[in-house]
Amino acid sequence: MDKEEQEGRATWVPGAVIVGAGPSGLAAAACLAARGVPATVLERSDSLAFTWRHRMYDRLALHLPKRFCELPLLPFPAEYPTYPCKDQFVAYMEAYAAAAGVAPRFGASVEEAAFDASAAAWAVRLAGGEVLMTRWLVVATGENAEPHVPDFPGMQQFAGRVLHTCEYKCGEEFAGEKVLVVGCGNSGMEVSLDLCRHGAKPSMVVRNTVHVLPKEMLGVSTFGIAMALLKWLPVQLVDRFILAAARLTLGNTSRLGLRRPKTGPIELKNLTGRTPVLDVGTLDHIKSGKIKVVGAVKEVTRVGARLADGKEEQQFDAIILATGYRSNVPSWLKDGGDVFTREGTPKTPFPDGWKGRNGLYTVGFSQRGLLGASSDALCVARDIHCQWRERERERDKPTSDVHQADSSV
């Protein structure tokens, strides 16, 4: 679309445009609404919290206590358990949007967003050609917008089922089958456990080192203990304490094929964004042999796979890719190079990566989960509100004041 055509079809939007109606986008909209700043929330799917609603497996519950996962301005219901399940979290999102008066535009897929220097605004082009102009663009599509599907050699010839965890719901349909689970993060661990409990025979691929921690220690959240200790102690000392407690609780995970990184779990998270795995019972099934730990996939064959730690082909009925997600920002955001890398990840680490140039903001890219998204949303709303208030003052300034100011120049 050329510039003249764009200007002819463009609609100026009061306030901000927020791309994404997941937790990050809803938090940004709610925080802006609380300050009296309007926002248009664009969501390509047909529902809010689409990833949580449609791409998560049935047994999923929050890995952290609800007090670390609530969004600004509205706590979780008191009757919710410490670790709300997927359906409870979706219900919380719906109540959150309703309480804040946030009504996203569903089916609004952003094809391109670029800064128009002549208009000093962002031009957001939707599928179908509609263009929205805004002074403030908030990118809230998050780090998990698109499934990451690696292409292993020979994958196309595999005769069984291949699916990403975004398609996985329950292990019941895999009962009696040998299943290769590629990935040993929280999703890979939980899917392996779910498969095992439904009578499947999972083998979990572990390519790299991984920190596995107990979900709780003495009935208290491991994450909560770490956050409390970090207020008083350096991160390396807290890591040493957490790892010592993990060894007492879980034993030596290296003997199970789960080697730990040399860097501690919290320090590693801060440096790379790699999240430690919180054990929900998977280790007990590995110890009993019900879940096998295997090496990296070297090649997929018609009936199974060859693994890097063995020469013989192993047969599998299905392959589940617990290989995570990735950002889709590079596919549609132009002029965002000061904030995002070419992979759509933040250039500036938390807590300072929420603001770019020319009215560009981000929420939910801090690699700090819902807690980080909440922090981003509060900062973004505060900054936009200051500019909004200044523009309102300029607009409401009496004409005579403007004339006097002109005459004095």
How many whole angstroms separate alpha carbon 222 and alpha carbon 78? 21
Least confident of 2-16, 126-140, 209-223: 2-16
- Which pLDDT value is given to residue 401? 52
How many whole angstroms separate alpha carbon 339 and alpha carbon 354? 8
φ, ψ dihedrals at 338, nearest 5°: -80, -15
Average model confidence (pLDDT) across the chain = 91
Ramachandran assignment for 20, one of left (phi > 0), alpha (psi -120 to 50 degrees), beta (any other): left
Torsion sign (Cα): 250, 253, 255, 257:
positive
Tell me the pTM: 0.91
- Which pLDDT value is given to residue 67? 94
Domains in the chain (CATH in brackets) are: 8-143+326-390 (3.50.50.60), 147-319 (3.50.50.60)
Least confident of 157-161, 201-205, 305-309, 311-315: 311-315
How many whole angstroms separate alpha carbon 387 and alpha carbon 137? 13
- Which pLDDT value is given to residue 336? 81
The residues that bridge with 17 in the sheet, in sequence order, are 40, 137
- Which pLDDT value is given to residue 399? 57
- Which pLDDT value is given to residue 403? 47
- Which pLDDT value is given to residue 241? 96
Estimate to the nearest angstrom the gap between the alpha carbon of 234 and the chain centroid. 27
φ, ψ dihedrals at 223, nearest 5°: -65, -45
How many whole angstroms separate alpha carbon 382 and alpha carbon 376? 10
Kindly tell me if the per-residue pLDDT of 4 is higher than 60: no
- Given a contact cutoff of 8 angstroms between Cβ atoms, the answer to whether 57 and 79 are in contact is no
Least confident of 50-54, 135-139, 378-382: 50-54
- Which pLDDT value is given to residue 25? 97
Mean predicted confidence (pLDDT) in 173-200:
96
Percentage of the chain beyond pLDDT 70 is 95
For the stretch 256-271, pLDDT in tens is: 999 999 999 999 998 8
Kindly tell me if the per-residue pLDDT of 153 is higher than 60: yes
The residue type at 36: G
Nearest one of 16, 52, 19, 51 to 36, comparing CA atoms: 16
- Which pLDDT value is given to residue 406? 42
Residue 254 has, within 13 A of its CA and on its CB side, a CA count of: 6
- Which pLDDT value is given to residue 1? 44
- Which pLDDT value is given to residue 218? 85
For the stretch 30-70, pLDDT in tens is: 999 999 999 999 999 999 999 999 999 999 999 999 999 99
DSSP letter for 119, please: T
Burial environment of residue 396 by CB neighbours within 10 A (0 to 12, 13 to 18, 19 or more) = exposed
Kindly tell me if the per-residue pLDDT of 8 is higher than 70: no
Tokens for 32, please give them.
């802006």
How many whole angstroms separate alpha carbon 118 and alpha carbon 226? 49
- Which pLDDT value is given to residue 408? 40
Alpha helices by DSSP H, 146-264: 186-197, 222-230, 235-250
- Which pLDDT value is given to residue 311? 65
